[in-house]
Amino acid sequence: MSATNPLPATSGARALPEILQGRLSLPAVAAPMFILSGPELVIAQCKAGIVGSFPALNARPQTELTKWLTRIETELEQARRDDPQARIAPYAVNLICHRSNERLDHDIGVCVAHRVPIVITSLSAPERVIPHVHGYGGLVFHDVISTRHARKAIAAGVDGLILVCAGAGGHAGTLNPFAFVSEIRQFFDGPILLSGAITHGRHVLAARSLGADMAYIGSYFITAQEANADPAYQQMVLDSSASDIVYTNLFSGVHANYLSESIRSAGLDPAELPDGDKSRLKVAEHGTKQVKAWRDVWSAGHGVGSIVENAPASMLINRLVEQYRQAAQEIAIE
């Protein structure tokens, strides 16, 4: 299905922020994946009509961040000139607000200089970020795993909430999406992005039916050819199912979902993991060896059992679009 075709209507759906209107082939944001998300993946995702994103910390050293943003902006603008009718989505940058991030002020400054359209904040309240982004008219979407976190983010002035539910890859919560969306909708009418095991276009439609405005998709893109992923990591995702995911705070101090086989490969028993250090984002120690999250122990969500191939991001997104449209048609017929 062409990315120029409009999205099917969904009963009760709210209008998306203006920056997204008419620019999406699917109501979705690609989650920023530490190490894995870089310019190649972001550009491919945006060209295929979903918001592509990456963690600012992936650009190393920090001087690379300006180069990355310039490349993304240049290539997306050229794509829009080449095909003015194409649905080419804006991009987003993820800023880690935790006090351990010594680059935060620098990265905020670069985002302001480039007027990054959407900033995704996570791992602590975004008060330091919001005034800067709002100053040039950008949007701030914040990751939350509880109603308490959501209320704090709203009080800080965020534009949208990303509800990270049970089964999401990376740092995930434990709440059921039905319950979480329903609770948040009682007091927040802004954009909601829903995260957690979304690997099919039908899931995107279901997220909207629950009351969310967009899906937030991460693990599905681990096997994208443009992802900066170890081939062994990608194969492990293809070989895994939901039962192979372990939820632990050992490796970063914050609970996250990891592939059990990667934990075994690091010399640890996934069934016998101690608690991590919640006071700071730290690496686990195994004997004299440091075991780092994302580098040594690989993350993925419960949706891995539905991830079936290593393919270009555009192909993976086009499949979601077709599935989404088919599901919408089936519901309309019924």
The reply to whether 174 and 285 lie within a common domain is no
Whether 12 is covered by a domain: the verdict is no
The reply to whether 248 and 277 lie within a common domain is yes
Whether 2 is covered by a domain: the verdict is no
> Could you list the residue range(s) of the whole structural domain that residue 51 is in?
19-228+309-333
Extract the residue ranges of the chain whose pLDDT is less than 50.
Answer: 1-2, 11-12, 280-288
The reply to whether 150 and 255 lie within a common domain is no
pLDDT digits (tens, 9 = 90+) for 271-289: 999 887 755 444 444 443 5
The reply to whether 196 and 254 lie within a common domain is no
The reply to whether 157 and 66 lie within a common domain is yes
User: Which pLDDT score is estimated for 286?
Assistant: 42
User: Which pLDDT score is estimated for 132?
Assistant: 98
Q: Based on DSSP, count helices (H) and strands (E) in the chain, helices before strands.
A: 10, 13
The reply to whether 213 and 267 lie within a common domain is no
Note the pTM of the prediction, 2 decimals: 0.92
Amino acid letter, 251: F
The reply to whether 173 and 38 lie within a common domain is yes
Token look-up 């607000």 returns 97
Whether 93 is covered by a domain: the verdict is yes
Residue 158 to residue 154: CA distance in whole angstroms = 5
If one counts the domains in the chain, the total is: 2
CATH code, domain with 38 = 3.20.20.70
Whether 205 is covered by a domain: the verdict is yes
Q: What angle do CA 308, 178, 214 make, to 5 degrees?
A: 60
Whether 234 is covered by a domain: the verdict is no
User: Which pLDDT score is estimated for 322?
Assistant: 97
The reply to whether 51 and 92 lie within a common domain is yes
Whether 1 is covered by a domain: the verdict is no
The reply to whether 254 and 316 lie within a common domain is no
Distance set, CA 2 to CA 25, 122, 203, 235, 322 (Å): 8, 33, 20, 30, 10
Whether 48 is covered by a domain: the verdict is yes
Give percent helix, percent strand, percent coil of the chain, each to the nearest 5.
Answer: 40, 20, 45
Whether 9 is covered by a domain: the verdict is no
What residues have CB less than 8 Å from 151, skipping those under 6 apart? Answer: 187
User: Which pLDDT score is estimated for 15?
Assistant: 76
User: Which pLDDT score is estimated for 285?
Assistant: 43
Residue 277 to residue 143: CA distance in whole angstroms = 21
Residue 27 to residue 299: CA distance in whole angstroms = 24
The reply to whether 196 and 326 lie within a common domain is yes
The reply to whether 313 and 274 lie within a common domain is no
Token look-up 């089936």 returns 330
Mapping DSSP onto H, E and C, the string for 268-293 reads CCCCCCCCCCCCCCCCEEECCEEECE
User: Which pLDDT score is estimated for 11?
Assistant: 47
The reply to whether 99 and 148 lie within a common domain is yes
The token pair that represents 227 in the structure block: 């992802």
User: Which pLDDT score is estimated for 125?
Assistant: 87
User: Which pLDDT score is estimated for 6?
Assistant: 59
